[in-house]
Structure 1
């Protein structure tokens, strides 16, 4: 038993305060060390033991989040600390080995990688016009360089019948879209003429690595984004427009997020290696989620943050907007209205991954009123293909 005296007790409390501050700042390893020092000063205080155990849990959760995101070097640091504290934890040992293997692979790839100045996208070497279409091919065809509505309808029918699109036309579509998207700014302003409408879908899950804009503003009324808002007030639309989304992946070897933008009927995926300010904005746009309580809180995902109705209200006021529309979370009814009606989550993938049983939804804004009209729908049978089976391989060659 530690000797109980006022000096030890006072020192232990000082260490606990420092540990609590480190915990709030998500510095879990530092918090664990400080709680340990507090325990050494006064081991009879159960609060120190409980707080250290909770910090350990959060450290392991963060490590798992880093691992899931492909941020293997960060995950490795966390699991090394977990292993040090709990050497007999089999789950931590398993994840540590996974991280060690992934980091070794990254180091090998770095050792044989081509210098940045010499890198070239495979897409730059593809000329779809030189690809012959076999006479026996009976699927949808693009005549010339224009993708027509008739072609799209034919292609959809073919897909429903489990027929493949010829690679010439698949390359053509992706390359032409790539050229179109690279001309767009990181924030797109859409003005909807009277009598027309604007449709927002979210999380239908496709991937076009960093070409898609970060967000959209519709008729100076609503802000459309995949994840959510920011860790600081005062972010203006001009700050988002200044984001240069065309850059190389971070050193962890994966994109910052392979998420899908709640942006018209497009998708989003970013990779970033910017200043901390730009990285923060992009990360939060992609990963943040709303919370029912006011203020800001830690993210359940280990990245981004949770934000309350007051944060939403201030952002809208600062940018003279009325509504935030975002996705990023499965909703049983396909949508959810929160933050005093100032934020709508829309999720357009019904029965997500063939497991969730949720409805899908989309939102239609009709000019000039531009009020959100939410349409929900249920899943229908689809071909026997695993969800997201083709999400990575085909488009990876265009990065």
Structure 2
């Protein structure tokens, strides 16, 4: 699978959603100058009932998200006080009803109950718009209740193949899709929690030796995902059981061994690496002498794998991982990549 780079756009600076009227018949909560808790909760329920938000609000959320996210560093830091916690989730891949199950099990996002979602919000599952709009709306309502890092599927090339483009154009339009691409380019690449835990989507299979957290923070991320380099490795690399670096079966970046994990963490004063990017039957896997955890939060991936989903809660007092596993939730009868197959059938 190739990771193809692309050009960045600034459609958020050009689009004027204020000329769009919201019809009196629209039965959702109206969006004012700020995103209120009432708006977010109404949107969550609309999506649950297979309704959309108005296209004006879709554009407004994405423009607001672009303005917020582009001011974040490529690597940002979170401090969790001793009496607080944070929950880290892996890939959700458009499985909106499983996202709701996470919130049922762990509570809705709030300043007192913050979440970090570690990329791959979209593609494959046919409710990708619902997933990413929900996460962005929480982030805009309160930036301290929702943190987001980019995955390899927050990418124009993969979105064209695995369903998100077709879904977005069908549910909204091409301008909304272009706004999403800009938002994806602004998503940070990594997060450090309490100076101990590094969270990023893929891994640390860096070709260059001696990469530091400062190097990651300095990445010019505001573009589609390149074919090589630090940004590509962060989003595409995978761990392996053998020491050293090796070729990645994905055809992009590399695989890295337990020795690579240990050296990177020790050199950067860290204790643990959290990554996602790979389906795990238990929803998570601990390896590299307990220094690396893969977390995956899309149960019964693609309606066929039969895996559990999982998430991790860290208490600020000790920053030890506490796992919750869960099974998939029922969802409306739209299979994986439904909109791609629908488009294909229309063209045949």
TM-score range, shorter chain: 0.5 to 0.7
Higher RCO, 1 or 2 (CA under 8 Å, sep at least 6)? 2
Are the structure 2 counterparts of residues 335 and 163 from structure 1 closer, same or farther at C-alpha, using a change threshold of 3 Å? same
TM superposition shift of 1:153: 1.4
**Structure 1 counterpart SS, 2:278:** coil
Compute the TM-score of the two structures, normalised by the length of structure 2: 0.68
Q: Which residue of 2 aligns with 1:186?
A: 74
Separation (CA, whole Å) in 2 of partners of 1:387 and 1:173: 25
Match status 1:326 vs 2:275: yes
TM superposition shift of 1:188: 0.5
Match of 1:237 among 198, 208, 213: 213
Match of 1:286 among 232, 235, 239: 235
**Structure 2 counterpart SS, 1:353:** helix
Query: Which one has a larger percent strand, Structure 1 or Structure 2?
Result: 2
TM superposition shift of 1:387: 3.3
Match status 1:217 vs 2:105: no
Separation (CA, whole Å) in 2 of partners of 1:196 and 1:179: 28
TM superposition shift of 1:132: 1.2
Q: CA RMSD in A?
A: 2.2
Separation (CA, whole Å) in 2 of partners of 1:389 and 1:225: 29
Q: Could you report, residue by residue, the CA deviation over 1:259-295 in whole angstroms, capped at 9, with x for unpaired residues? A: xxxxxxxxxxxx348xxxxx41111111111111112
Q: Which residue of 1 aligns with 2:90?
A: 202
Are the structure 2 counterparts of residues 219 and 389 from structure 1 closer, same or farther at C-alpha, using a change threshold of 3 Å? farther
TM superposition shift of 1:296: 1.6
Separation (CA, whole Å) in 2 of partners of 1:351 and 1:333: 11
Separation (CA, whole Å) in 1 of partners of 2:257 and 2:200: 16
Is the contact made by 2:12 and 2:66 (CA closer than 8 Å) also made in structure 1?
A: no
Is the contact made by 1:293 and 1:308 (CA closer than 8 Å) also made in structure 2?
A: yes
Number of matched residues?
252
Separation (CA, whole Å) in 2 of partners of 1:155 and 1:296: 45
Separation (CA, whole Å) in 2 of partners of 1:305 and 1:185: 25
* Gap regions ≥5 residues in structure 2: 93-120, 123-153, 155-182, 341-348
Match status 1:131 vs 2:20: yes
Is the contact made by 1:325 and 1:345 (CA closer than 8 Å) also made in structure 2?
A: yes
Separation (CA, whole Å) in 1 of partners of 2:9 and 2:241: 46
Are the structure 2 counterparts of residues 387 and 180 from structure 1 closer, same or farther at C-alpha, using a change threshold of 3 Å? farther
Give the alignment of 1:5-20 within 5 angstroms.
none
Separation (CA, whole Å) in 1 of partners of 2:277 and 2:287: 14
Separation (CA, whole Å) in 1 of partners of 2:281 and 2:202: 18
Match of 1:141 among 30, 36, 40: 30
Match status 1:381 vs 2:330: yes
TM superposition shift of 1:140: 3.3
* Gap regions ≥5 residues in structure 1: 1-64, 72-105, 107-115, 248-254, 256-270, 274-278, 392-399
Is the contact made by 1:245 and 1:272 (CA closer than 8 Å) also made in structure 2?
A: no
Give the alignment of 1:98-109 within 5 angstroms.
none
Q: Which residue of 2 aligns with 1:32?
A: none
CA radius of gyration, larger in: 1
Match status 1:315 vs 2:264: yes
**Structure 2 counterpart SS, 1:154:** helix
Compute the TM-score of the two structures, normalised by the length of structure 1: 0.59
Separation (CA, whole Å) in 2 of partners of 1:387 and 1:124: 33
Match of 2:245 among 271, 296, 315: 296
Are the structure 2 counterparts of residues 390 and 362 from structure 1 closer, same or farther at C-alpha, using a change threshold of 3 Å? farther
Separation (CA, whole Å) in 2 of partners of 1:345 and 1:388: 24
Query: Which one has a larger percent helix, Structure 1 or Structure 2?
Result: 1
TM superposition shift of 1:389: 5.4
**Structure 2 counterpart SS, 1:209:** helix
TM superposition shift of 1:120: 5.7
TM superposition shift of 1:180: 0.5
Separation (CA, whole Å) in 1 of partners of 2:81 and 2:338: 38
231-240 or 317-326: which moved more? Answer: 231-240
Is the contact made by 2:281 and 2:306 (CA closer than 8 Å) also made in structure 1?
A: yes
